[in-house]
C-alpha cells in the first residue's frame, strides 16, 4: 500500500466516520440535531466533502496514465510486462520506450490463441478483426503507450479512458497469459495503433 493510498484511506475514514456519527449516534442523543447549528453543520459537511475530492484529485494517481507527449508519473510504473520504480520517459532523446515483446507472436495471440480471442470482441484493422462487443482498438489505443495497453489488458475493470463500462471484458488475460505473452500482445497493439 503506497503513501497515497494511506492518505486516501484516512480521509475517507474521517468522512465515513463523521457521516455515521451524525446520522446514527448524535440523533439518538439529540433528536433536534442539527437544530440551531445547521449553518455550522453544513459548513463542516462541505469542508469534508471538499477535502475528500481534493485528496482523490491529488493522491489518487494510481490509475492515472500520462497523455501522449507527457512524461509518466514518478513511482511504480508498468512497461510491457516489467515493473520499475523509476520515471519512464523512454530513451535519452525522449522517444517512447519500446515494448520488449514480439509483435508477430502478439498478433497470433490477438487473433487465435487467447481464449476468448481478442479479435472476437474488438475491431483492429491490423488483425482484420471486426468485433463490436468491446471498443474499437484502432481508435481507443491510437498513440497510447505500452504501460497503458498492458494495464488495460490485466486490469480491464479500471475503465481506463475507454468509456466502456467495467465488467464487459473478461479479467482473465492477466492470469491466462504469461509475462512474455503479455509483452508480445502489448508489442503488437502498440505497433498496430501508432498510426
Per residue in 105-114, pLDDT (tens digit) is 888 888 887 7
Residue 51 clears pLDDT 70, i.e. is over it: yes
Helix, coil or strand: residue 48: helix
pTM of the model: 0.47
User: What per-residue string of b and e applies to 157-186 under the rule 16 or more CB within 10 Å gives b?
Assistant: eebbebeeeeeebeeebeeebeeebbbbbb
Arithmetic mean of pLDDT, 15-20: 92
pLDDT in the model for residue 92: 43
Using CA atoms, how far apart are residues 25 and 58, in angstroms rounded to an integer? 32
Phi, psi of 4 (to 5 degrees): -65, -40
Buried b (16+ CB within 10 A) or exposed e, 66-83: eeeeeebeeeebbbbbbe
Grid cell in block for residue 48:
469534508
Under the banding of pLDDT at 50, 70 and 90, the label for residue 157 is: low
Amino acid at each position: 500500500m503506497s503513501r497515497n493510498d494511506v492518505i486516501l484511506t484516512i480521509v475517507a475514514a474521517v468522512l465515513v466516520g463523521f457521516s455515521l456519527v451524525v446520522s446514527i449516534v448524535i440523533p439518538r442523543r439529540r433528536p433536534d440535531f442539527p437544530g440551531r447549528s445547521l449553518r455550522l453543520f453544513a459548513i463542516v459537511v462541505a469542508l469534508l466533502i471538499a477535502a475528500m475530492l481534493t485528496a482523490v484529485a491529488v493522491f489518487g494517481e494510481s490509475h492515472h496514465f500520462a497523455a501522449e507527449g507527457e512524461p509518466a508519473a514518478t513511482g511504480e510504473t508498468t512497461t510491457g510486462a516489467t515493473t520499475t520504480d523509476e520515471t519512464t520517459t523512454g530513451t535519452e532523446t525522449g522517444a517512447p520506450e519500446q515494448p520488449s515483446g514480439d509483435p508477430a507472436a502478439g498478433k497470433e495471440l490477438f487473433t487465435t490463441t487467447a481464449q476468448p480471442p481478442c479479435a472476437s470482441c474488438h475491431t483492429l484493422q491490423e488483425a482484420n478483426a471486426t468485433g463490436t462487443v468491446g471498443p474499437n482498438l484502432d481508435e481507443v489505443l491510437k498513440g497510447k503507450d505500452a504501460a497503458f495497453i498492458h494495464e488495460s489488458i490485466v486490469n480491464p475493470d479500471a475503465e481506463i479512458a475507454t468509456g466502456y463500462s467495467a465488467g464487459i471484458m473478461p479479467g482473465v488475460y492477466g492470469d491466462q497469459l504469461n509475462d512474455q505473452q503479455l509483452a508480445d500482445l502489448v508489442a503488437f497493439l502498440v505497433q498496430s495503433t501508432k498510426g
